[in-house]
Structure 1
Amino acid sequence: MPDKHLVRMHFSANAGNYDLYAHVQKKMASRLAEFAALADRANTAAILDVGSGTGYLTELLVSLFPTARIKAVDIAPGMIEAAKRKFAGRNIRFRCADVEEMSITEDYDLIASNASLQWWNETPRTLERLYSALADRGTMCFSTFGPLTFSELHQSYNKAMRNLGLEGRGRPGQSFYSLEELQRICELFVRPHDEMKCGEAFEYMYFGSVKEFFTSVRKIGASNSD
């Protein structure tokens, strides 16, 4: 279970590096924006961007819905400050908060969250809360990492633990939901007349060394916060 204090601290400290190293997250945001584009653009007036980070998805949403009011929420103060500088003078409200704890007092035509869900501690409850904040005919879309994330790291770790006679003790990072698990979670609260679309994609990154890999993870603040 992620330690929210560490999540907040790590992402804040690395906000200045994030855009240089978050290659996969940017691809995820672009793909998520394709789903967001399916929303009724003419009637999308209020948008909530959850886990907005430095604002990469926010910028895509501004392009898709130029007249909409956008609220961007992130747990890390450093990320919020970086995004504020990027969007100075734009029709965007920023809030530094943990979406799992903050009150949601208004309805949104579109709620989007890119590469954030894996840092939540109560994912089913939080997804249901966000869904309940949708306006009539609203759209919610999110992206996250799957169970094959860092698979080579896990394989190497498990092999080393077996060689040491310590098999089954811990894991080098957090667990991730599968697409099927997320579908089942959403089916528990999605209204029967609402359409649910799901997709899965595989992205590969290659590194010259283990050190280079760990550096890329650390530079975006995504080091293990369990």
Structure 2
Amino acid sequence: MSAIKHTQLLALDKRALANRFGSRAESYNAATPVQQVMGQCLLDRIRSEQPDGHVQEILEVGCGTGRLTRELKALFPSANITAIDISQEMIDYATKQVPGPDYLVMDAEEYLRSLDRRFDLIVSNATVQWFVDLEKVVASMRAGLTPGGFLALGTFAERTFCELADAFDCAYQKNRLAAQNHLVPMKSVGYLRQILPEAEVVEQDILAHFKDVRTFLQSIKNAGAVNSQSGQRSIPKAVLRDMLHYYEARYKEPGSRKIQATYHACFLFYRRPAG
């Protein structure tokens, strides 16, 4: 049994997840500027770690529309890139935008469990928060590195959308109802440190601003990043109304009518020993 403290596994509906992301292939890039910032952080670190470009085999886990894939291809033009995603529509979009890599439509967790090859570089941006058993996934990524290989992983951590969580809690309390979680549960930074103790962990709060809460919620929908846990309940109308009120009353940007939303980004960087 793992020595890591028990963490509840997500009960995700993977088919619903694939369908929701797939339906947003055209809108994803415009709806995810924070994910683009995170991808650039990964690229900057990869560039500094691999100054001579000595990378022949790359695995990108959760390639989406191919936005990061394009940059990896430009950075390592002679490398073989394997890019996987759970959504057929995302892969179709990426193939048109960035031809050349070997694209696979697969559940990344299944792919990594049966991984029988090694890579000089494994990259994943804003994907692993959707995985059911992240401990096993990271162990597979680590084992899938060549000696001296590098892992660069970006994900969202526990403070992501903390304003929204607080507004929902207040709304449920006002209506004297048992609180329900309508957000995707994010792993804590402490947990991420535990599953790969040798990794360097870097965290950053990225603040985004929207004209109102409904615009913020629409941006999440446009990205396909809605909660895909099994057994999700609908939000009572009174709770939704009061949530909007609490959010806009408490989390307006100073000197502005815009509201803020926190994206808690966490990066793991790990190099497998060469020996």
> 1:144: which partner in 2?
155
Alignment partner of 1:218 out of 217, 221, 246: 221
> 1:95: which partner in 2?
104
Overall identity of the aligned pairs, in %: 30
> 1:201: which partner in 2?
204
**Alpha-carbon RMSD:** 1.3
Distance 2:22 2:211 in 1: 27
When you count strand as a share of all residues, which structure comes out higher? 2
Distance 2:16 2:189 in 1: 27
The alignment's TM-score, normalised by the length of structure 1, stands at: 0.91
Residues 71 and 93 in structure 1, CA contact (< 8 A), matched pair in contact too: yes
Alignment partner of 2:45 out of 26, 32, 35: 35
Change beyond 3 A, Cα 1:41–1:51: farther
* CA deviation after TM superposition for structure 1 residue 43, in Å: 2.7
Distance 2:103 2:216 in 1: 32
Q: Which runs of 5+ in 2 are unaligned?
A: 1-9, 230-275
Query: Is 1:22 the equivalent of 2:9?
Result: no
> 1:193: which partner in 2?
none
Query: Is 1:55 the equivalent of 2:69?
Result: no
Distance 1:175 1:75 in 2: 20
Distance 1:28 1:51 in 2: 14
The alignment's TM-score, normalised by the length of structure 2, stands at: 0.75
The alignment partner of 1:166 has SS state of coil
Superposition pairs of residues 174-193 of structure 1, within 5 angstroms: 174-187=184-197
Residues 53 and 74 in structure 1, CA contact (< 8 A), matched pair in contact too: yes
* CA deviation after TM superposition for structure 1 residue 74, in Å: 0.4
* CA deviation after TM superposition for structure 1 residue 41, in Å: 4.1
Letter in 1 for 2:108: V
Whose Rg is larger?
2
Letter in 2 for 1:206: H
Change beyond 3 A, Cα 1:25–1:42: closer
* CA deviation after TM superposition for structure 1 residue 107, in Å: 0.7
How many positions carry a matched residue from both structures? 216
Residues 39 and 138 in structure 1, CA contact (< 8 A), matched pair in contact too: no
Residues 117 and 144 in structure 1, CA contact (< 8 A), matched pair in contact too: yes
* CA deviation after TM superposition for structure 1 residue 98, in Å: 0.6
